[in-house]
Amino acid sequence: MQKKISFSGTTLAGYAGLLTGILLLVWLFLQIDLRASLDLVIDIGWLAPLLLLPYAALHILETIGWKKLFPVATGPIAFRRLFNIQLVSETVSMTVPAGVAVGEPLRPYLCKRFLGVPLPAAVAAVVIRKLVLGLSQGIYTLVGALLGFFWLQELSVQLIGIPGLGWIVLVSALLIIAVFVVLLLMLLDGGMACRLHGLLMAIPFTRLRRWLLRKENSFHETDSELKRFGQTGVKMIVLSTIYYTFAWMMLGVESYLILYLLGAEVAFDKVVVLDTSLTLLRSVVFVIPSGLGIQDFGFLAFFKALAMQDYVVVGGAFVLLRRLKELLWYAAGYALFLYYGIRPGTQDYTNIR
- Least confident range from 11-20, 194-203, 318-327: namely 194-203
Give 175's pLDDT tier (boundaries 50, 70, 90): very high
The whole-number pLDDT of residue 344 equals 47
Tens-digit pLDDT profile for residues 21-64: 566 666 666 677 778 888 888 888 888 889 999 999 999 999 99
Alpha helices of the chain — where are they, by DSSP H?
12-31, 34-42, 53-67, 79-95, 100-115, 119-160, 165-188, 192-201, 206-214, 216-232, 234-261, 268-284, 294-305, 311-339
Average pLDDT over residues 304-323: 83
- Least confident range from 15-19, 209-213, 270-274, 314-318: namely 209-213
- Cα torsion for 173, 178, 181, 184, to the nearest 10°? -100
% pLDDT > 90, the chain: 26
The whole-number pLDDT of residue 250 equals 94
Average pLDDT over residues 228-255: 86
The whole-number pLDDT of residue 350 equals 39
Distance of CA 325 to the CA centre of its chain: 16
Give 160's pLDDT tier (boundaries 50, 70, 90): confident
What CA–CA distances, in Å, run from 94 to 17, 193, 231? 12, 26, 33
CA atoms within a 13 Å half-sphere pointing along the CA-CB vector of 281: 18
Please give the residue that has the higher pLDDT: either 90 or 223: 90
Largest CA distance in the chain: 63
The whole-number pLDDT of residue 194 equals 55
